[in-house]
Structure 1
Amino acid sequence: MIKTSQAVASAVLVSTGLFLAGLSGGTALADSEPSATTAEGNRPQITIVGEGTVSTTPDIMRLDTGVEVRRPTAGAAFTAARTAAADLTRALLAAGVAARDLRTDELTLGPEYKEYPTISGYRATQGVEAIVRDIDDADDVVEAAAAVGEAVRLNGISFEVSDNRAPLRLAREAAFRDAQNRATQYARLAARGLGRVMEISEQNVTPPTPILGFAAAVDRASISPGRRNVSVSVKVVYELE
């Protein structure tokens, strides 16, 4: 589904004795402002910023998990954390996560104090990031991690689109159509024809941004990636006839 924003359009029509109503001496519309002029002797031009947005479904989940343990000595804490992390890794592999999609992203060991400088014990952590490439397996992977034991920590999940090239192409097409439609309307209001395209420049690209907090996800019957928007803005300069 393609959605085009109605946000930003800037247009200026300039020629001898020709001004589009509202563009002379101020802002034409609430969402537009003057942005261009023409050189003497040239045909007038119109500059438009079009926007296109495409909604897409993420197909990858990232699970931020890990282990945390406390022991009386540093050595015992470190060994316990490494053992728990190994158990967690085996559980994730058994749930279908590929070995190449597992990454250690944290490893800590430090003292805890009852009252400084008196040490009460030692805390060790090891973080594991797991990429789930089949969203249908998301629930099973999370449950497998949680079942490892009390040392496991589930810190959050996020969703991504593995290949955003197709939605970006559609968003660019929507942005260009939006710019063309706006330019056509302004040209008609000025009783002019819309001529050739003089310049095209991509202004802004907003890729699909993940994020769904873990607490929000587990409240659902099943973990869902929802939808993500890919947005593109394009500036197009047309010649007026």
Structure 2
Amino acid sequence: MPIAARATSTRFPLAVAAAGVIAVTLAGCDAQSGQSLTPGSDTRQVTVVGAGQVQGTPDTLTVNASMEFLAPDATGAMNQTNERQKAVIDALVGAGIDRKDIATTAADLQPQYGSDSTTISAYRATNSITVTIRDLAKASDAIGLIVSTGGNATRINSISYSIEDDSQLVRDARARAFEDAKDRAAQYAQLSGLDLGKVISISESAGPTPPVPMPAAPRAMEAAVPLEPGQQTVGFSVTVVWELS
């Protein structure tokens, strides 16, 4: 992490007209050791923030689905839920989904109270799984299979797209962020009549890459679920300090 430089008298102040410029000071710091340098009479620096974004097409779909039953007794509710979820899992595996891509995320049993709020009238059991579908051509059929096998007990909690390996997108976004910062710094150096020197420090902040949400599928259906992966954005923000000479 960059260490904030100590402010001294500013010989060549720069007007901060763009959001990308944070400060222009006379202090310096060592980017490798993180120790402050003793500012000389001619030490100047400019701190800017650059941003970079790239887009990629998602290649993975994740579905979170639950089976839910209500029964007069706890055992009955739990047994029905477990049996139905097992049937769903077996159906997915039979359709070509790798068992390692199916994970149980919750198994809940909750009493349901009557109108007096003190007497237990029934028990609600829920069993949830997350299914990772790596072949998007199978995604619509897989969701349909969950619903048709689970029947009225099915609850589709969420459907989201993601990019399994976004390492190249991250590198591209980082490069764009740095170039953006460099362009900003060069412009401010030119405006102040100075030259852009060596880099003093760099720090970055990855932009959020949320999964692309999809609307929940209906609990009972006959037609295939229409799915479109769209585009996903990978973003980076980088703060760079340059010497000015």
TM range (shorter): 0.7 to 0.9
Q: How big is the shift at 1:31?
A: 2.2
Q: Which residue of 2 aligns with 1:122?
A: 123
> Match for 1:58: what amino acid?
P
Pairing 1:160–2:169 present = no
The secondary structure found in structure 1 opposite 2:137 is helix
Tell me how large the CA RMSD over aligned residues is. 2.6
The size of the alignment, in residue pairs, is 220
More divergent stretch after superposition (115-124 vs 223-232):
115-124
Whole-angstrom CA distance in 2 between matches of 1:234 and 1:30: 15
Q: Which residue of 2 aligns with 1:102?
A: 102
Q: Which residue of 1 aligns with 2:132?
A: 131
> Match for 1:72: what amino acid?
P
Pairing 1:227–2:235 present = no
Q: Which residue of 2 aligns with 1:181?
A: 183
Q: How big is the shift at 1:172?
A: 0.9
Q: How big is the shift at 1:30?
A: 5.2
1:42–1:131 distance in 2 versus 1, CA, 3 Å: same
Pairing 1:194–2:170 present = no
The secondary structure found in structure 2 opposite 1:35 is strand
Percent of counterpart pairs with the same letter? 34
CA displacement 1:170-222 (0-9 Å, x = unmatched): 011001110111111111112222222222222x112421141424899x972
Whole-angstrom CA distance in 1 between matches of 2:80 and 2:115: 24
The secondary structure found in structure 2 opposite 1:150 is helix
Q: Which residue of 2 aligns with 1:68?
A: 68
Q: How big is the shift at 1:126?
A: 0.8
Whole-angstrom CA distance in 1 between matches of 2:119 and 2:43: 82
Q: How big is the shift at 1:235?
A: 1.6
Task: Say whether the 8 Å CA contact 1:105–1:129 is kept in structure 2.
Answer: yes
Q: Which residue of 1 aligns with 2:3?
A: none
1:150–1:139 distance in 2 versus 1, CA, 3 Å: same
Q: Which residue of 1 aligns with 2:35?
A: none
Q: Which residue of 1 aligns with 2:171?
A: 169
Q: Which residue of 1 aligns with 2:4?
A: none
Q: How big is the shift at 1:41?
A: 1.9
Task: Say whether the 8 Å CA contact 2:20–2:50 is kept in structure 1.
Answer: no
Q: How big is the shift at 1:32?
A: 5.2
1:32–1:130 distance in 2 versus 1, CA, 3 Å: closer
Task: Say whether the 8 Å CA contact 2:143–2:225 is kept in structure 1.
Answer: no
CA displacement 1:10-61 (0-9 Å, x = unmatched): xx9x863x344xx2xxxx3152565241134233222211111111222211
- TM-score by length of structure 2 reads 0.80
Task: Say whether the 8 Å CA contact 1:161–1:208 is kept in structure 2.
Answer: no
1:32–1:123 distance in 2 versus 1, CA, 3 Å: closer
Whole-angstrom CA distance in 2 between matches of 1:30 and 1:192: 18
Pairs within 5 Å for 1:136-151: 136-148=137-149, 149-151=151-153
1:150–1:119 distance in 2 versus 1, CA, 3 Å: same
| Structure 2 residue runs without a partner (length 5+) | 1-6, 27-38
- TM-score by length of structure 1 reads 0.81
Pairing 1:29–2:1 present = no
